[in-house]
Amino acid sequence: MEYKVIPFTPSIDRNKGNSAKVAQQLEVIISNYNDQGWRYVRLESVETHVLPDSGCFGIGSQPGYTAYRQMIVFSKE
């Protein structure tokens, strides 16, 4: 079995966006990959830790933080 994982970062207009637009974006991606022979498996949330940046002599330093990314998983036999 072969797997493909692609990032999913939906975008919506701050004033007009809603979950239906996000669902539509996901549906388009799933349909495109399905046309290429890939089968949708699931949407995964991946938690990563972004390391702190010490800056130059402490100027501009930024603390580390946790970031979450959505990944779409497809499979193909």
- Rounded to two decimals, the pTM is 0.75
Query: In which band, very low, low, confident or very high, does the pLDDT at 17 lie, cut at 50, 70 and 90?
Result: low
Angle at 17 between CA 72 and CA 34, to 5 degrees: 30
CB contact at 8 A, 46 and 68: yes
Mean pLDDT over residues 23-30, rounded?
94
Number of H helices, E strands in the chain: 1, 3
Rg (CA), the chain: 17
Mean pLDDT of the chain: 90
pLDDT for res 55: 77
Q: How far is CA 68 from CA 9, 39, 54, 55, in A?
A: 10, 24, 22, 24
What is the reported pLDDT for 62? 86
